Amino acid sequence: MRALVFDNDLSYRTDYPVPIPAEDEALIRVTAVGICNTDLEITKGYMGFNGVPGHEFVGIVEECKKKDLEGTRVVGEINIGCGRCRYCRNSMRNHCTNRSVLGILNKDGAFAEYITLPVRNLHILPDSIPDEKAVFVEPLAAAFEITEQVDIKDSDMVCILGDGKLALLAAQVLALTGCKLIVFGKHKNKLSVLKNLGIETGIDLSPDERRFDIVIDCTGSLSGIVSALNIVRPRGTLIIKTTTAGRSKIDLNSVVINEITITGSRCGPFEPAIKSIESKTVDLTSLISDSFPLKDGIEAFKYASKPGVLKIILTPN
Ligand SMILES: [Zn+2]
Ligand SMILES: [Zn+2]
């Protein structure tokens, strides 16, 4: 089959083997897949991943033991747990110590014609959600994870740092809580997406003002985490969404001195993500920059890493 393969370098191949589904898995024909920042980081060495990246997919079930699933249009949760360890047995499959993760860890992903995933990971999509919006279910679920982790009250002063794809999704999800939200970024054109939705935005963040109850770092950079640490109020909460291939030293004294709670945040619940797309409570159209056929995937990756570019979608043809 055709696939984008990362092996120290990203290449387009036409001879990659079609994956064979395990007993509990479905074979899925990918119909669209989004390029995520994580994919860009993978091409810089993040997670030491080799294989087919891609995890923000939508597709059609081609083959499956559960015959009623065949032919249905699905999205899928990307963490594959062993089902036996204490995390899997306590509803923490995403943290299974033996897990694989679609297109990120020990499992080929969706920049390909076909993928396999366990049936329990799949969510059938309503017909009203087109493919180009369905690719947002996974990252939108990651945005909803924030509201699962911290109880956000409408009196809370909340700041999101960053204006990339995840920041724009997180902002829309947090705006639903009614909190006092402001989003700081660097690119006026990206922030304008939020401005048009009535969400407050800013470019100049005054660095030493510790005033926010909750700060969410969606910058994708280590310097962004440092900035975030500087603006959380004493006993406030910092939620970190950034994962990077790079490493750096961060001074944690301020965390102790100001008794800040730091929470890492990754994958989230699919149901509210699907519902919010279905009911159009989030605007996704303005987050789509372009789409490319799979064969132009290398070019698509280059374009996706340009400043100002938001979601790039790959389709098989
Ligand atoms: Zn992603
Ligand atoms: Zn497990």
Cα distances (Å, whole numbers) of residue 262 to 92, 132, 165, 216, 225: 20, 34, 22, 10, 11
Note the ligand closest to the C-alpha atom of 267: 1
What is the distance in A from the centroid of ligand 2 to the CA of 105? 14
CA 182 to ligand 1 centroid distance, Å: 23
Å from CA of 82 to ligand 2 middle: 4
User: What is the reported pLDDT for 205?
Assistant: 81
Q: How confident is the prediction along the chain (317 residues), in pLDDT tens digits per residue?
A: 999 999 999 999 999 999 999 999 999 999 999 999 999 999 999 889 999 999 999 999 999 999 999 999 999 999 999 999 999 999 999 999 999 999 999 999 999 999 999 999 999 999 999 999 999 999 999 999 999 999 999 999 999 999 999 999 999 999 999 999 999 999 999 999 999 999 999 997 876 678 999 999 999 888 899 999 999 999 999 999 988 877 878 889 999 999 999 999 999 999 999 999 999 999 999 999 999 999 999 999 999 999 889 999 999 99
* Interval between CA 65 and ligand 1 midpoint (Å): 28
Q: Is 63 exposed, middle or buried (0-12, 13-18, 19+ CB in 10 A)?
A: middle
Instruction: Give pLDDT, residue 310.
Output: 94
Centre of ligand 2 to C-alpha 10, Å, is 30
Q: How far does residue 89's CA lie from ligand 2's centre (Å)?
A: 7
Helix, strand, or coil here: 92?
coil
Contact predicate 170/150, CB 8 Å = no
Q: Which pLDDT tens digit goes with each residue over 230-278?
A: 999 999 999 999 888 778 788 899 999 999 999 999 999 999 999 999 9
pLDDT at 307: 87
What integer pLDDT is reported at residue 208 of this predicted model?
A: 63
Contact, 82 vs 98, CB < 8 A? yes
Residue 24 CA to residue 21 CA, distance in Å, equals: 8
234 Cα to the center of ligand 1, angstroms: 31
CA of 138 to the centre of ligand 1 (A): 7
Question: What pLDDT is stored for residue 210 in this prediction?
Answer: 85
**Tokens read off for 280:** 């159009």
**Distance (Å, whole) CA 4 – CA 293:** 11
pLDDT of residue 206: 74
Domains of the chain: 3-136+284-315 (3.90.180.10), 141-264 (3.40.50.720)
Between the CA of 57 and the centroid of ligand 2 the distance, in Å, is 23
Among candidate residues 178, 165, 122, 121, the one with its CA nearest the CA of residue 308: 165
Least distant ligand from the CA of 88: 2
**pLDDT number for residue 119:** 97
Of the chain, the percentage scoring pLDDT greater than 90 comes to 91
Which pLDDT belongs to residue 207? Answer: 67
Ligand 1: centre distance to CA 254 (Å)? 30
Q: Ligand 1 centroid vs 58 CA: distance in angstroms?
A: 13
Q: How many CA atoms lie within 13 A of 269 on its CB side?
A: 12
